[in-house]
């Protein structure tokens, strides 16, 4: 059925089942809505990818682009019988005129390791950088290490090459808003140009302190994070700064945000709130959970709250508390609705049959109902 000589194609149902989920723990009542993909494609180049798109369009088959699936918002979860496009074989990258030019499947940590030898470093990268891919993190518009100084990945992308049913196109400027954070619903990211910084050494210090004192110390830092686990540890990284032993230890653990939590957890919620609201937000959240990690970004903070309950209502209640402080969910995925009308007008124009990662960014009626219950509670 699938004849693509230069593309790896997997149709074994048992293998395809592995592509049903990302890191999202889907509650059992909702798992019935998840579908097993019809096939998994692994293209090596744009030409092959365009052939897959042509094939899917002719047969009205939905396509879901997938990187490392390290998100927990269901952004790559099939809600219809679909074809998965696994982008991990398109992983070439280079530094050109001081900018990173990387294919979608390139892994952030591998990039960082190699460009450091050339005197460059990533401005921002995810805490999942050991496996997270360029296209996947851009498609979510992630925040991470370095976001205090340089913002989200959206603020560091100069241009993208994307493919849709019309072909290959290069987008930049205001048009980027239709692709960054769109989870592949408007096109599949195949290449990105990302701003870099000079590989200046970082000084990393860590202290035991309170969250309110930590917020006072983040000015002019490259990265700052606060972990409320067995101990309350504040990590501060500055270009050409000083280091201490606790800082060096905490810096090594930056890729493992759950390190230090002895108790098991069953669920979590992740939000973005303005920095000026972090202390008040957490004082209210601590009535639900005292286990959390804060990564500071430019003007705001991403906060991961660990829950010792499978009750999704608690996770949704934390979202409601964040909204009270002008915050929002960290990701959209299958849970939350993207509300900007110009985006949906663009989506309708570029993909009128909703074949590109369908049913995403629209919110889920059942989960919205659960959210209403959580709000009432």
146-164 tens-digit pLDDT:
999 999 999 999 999 999 9
Whether 286 is in a domain gets the answer yes
Instruction: Give the domain-ending residue among 36, 70, 86.
Output: 86
- pLDDT of 311 above 80: no
Which structural domain range is residue 27 located in? 8-86
- pLDDT of 373 above 50: no
- What's the rounded Cα separation, in Å, for the pair 163 and 109? 25
Total number of domains constituting the chain: 2
Tokens of residue 161, six digits: 């090459």
Instruction: Give the domain-ending residue among 35, 61, 86.
Output: 86
Whether 140 is in a domain gets the answer no
C-alpha 108: how far from its chain's center? 12
Whether 284 is in a domain gets the answer yes
Q: What is the pTM of this model?
A: 0.90
- What's the rounded Cα separation, in Å, for the pair 107 and 223? 21
Whether 350 is in a domain gets the answer no
- What's the rounded Cα separation, in Å, for the pair 312 and 316? 6
Whether 175 is in a domain gets the answer no
CATH of the domain at 54: 3.30.43.10
Mean pLDDT of the chain, nearest integer = 90
Q: Give the residue from 224, 212, 44, 48 showing the smallest Cα distance to 148.
A: 224
**What's the average model confidence in pLDDT over 183-208?**
96
Q: Is 158 left (phi over 0), alpha (psi -120 to 50) or beta?
A: alpha
Whether 335 is in a domain gets the answer no
Q: Give the residue from 360, 365, 7 showing the smallest Cα distance to 186.
A: 360
Say if residue 190 is exposed, middle or buried (CB neighbours under 10 Å; 0-12, 13-18, 19+). buried
Whether 23 is in a domain gets the answer yes
Could you tell me which residues are beta bridge partners of residue 40? 10, 84
Structure confidence at residue 7 (pLDDT):
83
The pLDDT tens digits for 62-110 are 999 998 888 777 788 898 899 999 999 999 999 999 999 999 999 999 9
Instruction: Give the domain-ending residue among 86, 108, 142.
Output: 86
Whether 159 is in a domain gets the answer no
- pLDDT of 266 above 90: no
The pLDDT tens digits for 25-36 are 666 666 777 889
In sequence order, which residues have a C-beta less than 8 Å from that of residue 346 and are 6 or more positions away?
A: 178, 186
């Amino acid at each position: 059925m699938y004849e693509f000589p230069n593309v790896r194609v997997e149709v074994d149902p048992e293998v395809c089942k592995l592509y049903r989920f990302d890191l999202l723990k889907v509650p059992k009542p909702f798992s019935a809505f998840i579908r097993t993909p019809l096939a998994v494609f692994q293209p090596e180049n744009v030409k092959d990818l365009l052939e897959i798109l042509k094939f899917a369009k002719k047969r009205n088959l939905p396509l879901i682009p997938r990187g490392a699936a390290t998100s927990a918002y269901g952004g790559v979860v099939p809600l219809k019988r679909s074809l998965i496009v696994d982008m991990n074989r398109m992983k070439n990258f280079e530094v050109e005129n001081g900018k990173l030019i990387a294919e979608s499947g390139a892994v952030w940590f591998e990039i960082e390791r190699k460009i450091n030898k050339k005197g460059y470093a990533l401005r921002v990268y995810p805490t999942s950088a050991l496996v997270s891919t360029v296209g996947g993190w851009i498609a979510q518009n992630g925040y991470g290490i370095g976001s205090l100084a340089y913002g989200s990945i959206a603020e560091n992308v100069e241009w993208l090459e994307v493919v849709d049913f019309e072909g290959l196109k290069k987008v930049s400027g205001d048009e980027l808003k239709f692709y960054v954070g769109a989870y592949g619903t408007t096109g599949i990211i195949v290449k990105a140009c990302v701003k870099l910084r000079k590989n200046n050494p970082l000084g990393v210090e860590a202290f035991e302190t309170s969250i309110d004192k930590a917020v006072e110390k983040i000015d002019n830092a490259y990265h700052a994070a606060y972990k409320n686990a067995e101990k309350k540890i504040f990590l501060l990284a500055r270009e050409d700064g000083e280091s201490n032993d606790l800082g060096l230890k905490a810096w090594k653990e930056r890729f493992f945000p759950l390190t230090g939590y002895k108790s098991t957890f069953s669920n979590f919620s992740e939000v973005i709130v303005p920095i000026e609201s972090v202390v008040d937000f957490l004082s209210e959240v601590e009535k639900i959970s005292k286990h959390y990690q804060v990564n500071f970004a430019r003007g705001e903070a991403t906060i991961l709250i660990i829950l010792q309950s499978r009750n999704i209502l608690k996770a949704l209640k934390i979202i409601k508390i964040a909204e009270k402080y002008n915050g929002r969910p960290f990701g959209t995925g299958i849970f939350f609705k993207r509300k900007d009308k110009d985006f949906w007008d663009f989506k309708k124009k570029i993909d009128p049959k909703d074949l590109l990662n369908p049913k995403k960014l629209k919110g889920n009626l059942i989960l919205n109902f659960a959210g209403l219950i959580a709000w009432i509670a």
